[in-house]
Amino acid sequence: METDTKTIRKELQKIFEKKVIFNHPLSEITTLGIGGSAQYFISAHNEGDILNAIRFAKEHSLPFYLIGSASNIVANDKGVRGVVMQHSITTLEINNETKICRVGAGYSLLPLIHILNKQGLSGMEKMAGIPGTVGGAIYGCAGAYGQEIKDCLIKIKIFDGKKVRPLTRDQCKFGYRTSIFKQRKNWIILEADFQLINADPKSLKKTSRDIMKLRAKKYPPDLKCPGSFFKNIVIDAIRPAALKKQFLSKVDLQKINHGKLASGYLLEQVGAKGQKSGDIAVAEYHGNLIYNAGNGKSKDVKKLANLLKKKVQKKFGITLEEEVQYL
Ligand SMILES: Cc1cc2nc3c(=O)[nH]c(=O)nc-3n(C[C@H](O)[C@H](O)[C@H](O)COP(=O)(O)OP(=O)(O)OC[C@H]3O[C@@H](n4cnc5c(N)ncnc54)[C@H](O)[C@@H]3O)c2cc1C
């Protein structure tokens, strides 16, 4: 027999106390500023919270979703039934001899980079300005300015739905904006170990600062967006060979950089810049930047994204793949 909502709420309050919020508006959490309410929103501050939340959802047959900082998420206007758990484990240990940093997956990337820069530890400084948590970055193999989260990662600790266990970097199966976690949606990254190297704190800080200045031009602080909307095109991944040949005959080959073609370029060619659906718009200055101009809705995000995908498919014969995750 299904437990009624009142009993579920009581039980959740008993287990999680202030760490649970009922009907929490996701529009207040997502960087895109959209989304209905999460029925049971739990902030998990330690492994116990995570395991309890998963067990609870299972026992009550409730859907379960995991988020970090929600900087890459398009949340449904209708809200989310069940448990939405925000990973908030922010433990941090830095071994100054080995230069290994062990960090909770809920730790935000930018404050972590600030600490590492201060201590003269290099490996992440170019990712300054990517919003989100360490776990979210590993999930999507985040990166910028020639550095990716996988570069200095040694191993991680995960919960695989049954037990807590280690995973090597190779086992994470990283690729361009992807990892094994995109297939194993029930695996949860708990913490990560990074091997850093010595560098001059002043120059690390300058690198991060300069990059953040550049980034602020594309992403002004008050812009409600989830970062780049679509993944870029990895030329060697286009199959079959005939499609690749046809595609290459239609694009400016000069635009291919390190084996990738920016989807922003393709979107520009199909007139994406400035297109709108309701309050959701494509930036006038970047074809791959979809933002919420005020009271945007997820249905408009999907409508606009599908329209753009169709246009690119028609002109170039390939299908753009979302970098953002739908919730
Ligand atoms: C202004 C702006 C600029 C951006 N620039 C960049 C950029 O330069 N490069 C780049 O790569 N990205 C960029 N992004 C996208 C986004 O910041 C990254 O994808 C980020 O790594 C997402 O982290 P998050 O904690 O917010 O994850 P969320 O958005 O909360 O979640 C994303 C996915 O990760 C999963 N996830 C989160 N934590 C865990 C965990 N612990 N274990 C397992 N799965 C987990 C979630 O289930 C979800 O499917 C940008 C976003 C914004 C808003």
**pLDDT tens, position by position, 62-92:** 999 999 999 999 999 999 999 999 999 999 9
What does CATH list as the number for 5-87? 3.30.43.10
* Mean per-residue pLDDT, 151-166: 97
* Residue 323 a catalytic site member: yes
**Percent of the chain surpassing pLDDT 90:** 98
206 contact partners, CB below 8 Å, separation of at least 6: none
Length of the chain: 327
Domain chopping of the chain, boundaries? 5-87, 92-217, 228-326
Q: What pLDDT, on the 0 to 100 scale, is given for residue 130?
A: 97
The closest-lying atom of ligand 1 relative to the alpha carbon of residue 177 is 11
Residue 158 has pLDDT above 70, yes or no: yes
102-157 pLDDT tens trace: 999 999 999 999 999 999 999 999 999 999 999 999 999 999 999 999 999 999 99
Nearest CA to ligand 1 atom 6: 130
What pTM did the predictor assign?
0.96
* Side-chain-side CA neighbours of residue 292 (13 Å): 24
* Residue 165 a catalytic site member: no
Q: How far is the CA of 142 from the centre of ligand 1 (A)?
A: 7
Query: For the packed helices 201-218 and 109-118, what is the interaxial angle rounded to 10 degrees?
Result: 150
249-282 pLDDT tens trace: 999 999 999 999 999 999 999 999 999 999 999 9
* Residue 177 a catalytic site member: yes
What is the average pLDDT value for the chain, to the nearest integer? 96
Nearest CA to ligand 1 atom 27: 136
**Strand 100-104 relative to strand 92-95: parallel, antiparallel, unpaired?**
antiparallel
The pLDDT confidence band at residue 33, using thresholds 50, 70 and 90, is very high
Q: What pLDDT, on the 0 to 100 scale, is given for residue 2?
A: 63
Distance between CA atoms of residues 297 and 27, nearest Å: 10
Residues framing ligand 1 (Cβ under 6 A): 31, 66-73, 87, 105, 130-133, 135-137, 139-140, 142-144, 181, 188-189, 219, 225-227, 325
**In the CATH hierarchy, which top-level class contains the domain 92-217?**
alpha beta
Residue 242 has pLDDT above 90, yes or no: yes
Q: How far is the CA of 251 from the centre of ligand 1 (A)?
A: 30
Maximum separation of any 2 CA atoms in the chain, in Å: 63
Q: How far is the CA of 138 from the centre of ligand 1 (A)?
A: 8
**Strand 325-326 relative to strand 73-74: parallel, antiparallel, unpaired?**
parallel
Measured at the alpha carbon of residue 86, what is the angle toward residues 65 and 91, in degrees to the nearest 5? 135
Which residue matches tokens 């020639």?
Answer: 146
CB contact at 8 A, 177 and 323: yes
Domain 228-326 is found in CATH 3.90.78.10: yes
Q: What pLDDT, on the 0 to 100 scale, is given for residue 3?
A: 73
* CB atoms near residue 235 (< 10 Å): 16
Which residues sit opposite 133 in a β-bridge?
A: 108
Which residue matches tokens 């708990």?
Answer: 190
**Strand 153-159 relative to strand 188-195: parallel, antiparallel, unpaired?**
antiparallel
Nearest to 21 by CA among 2, 4, 48, 44: 44
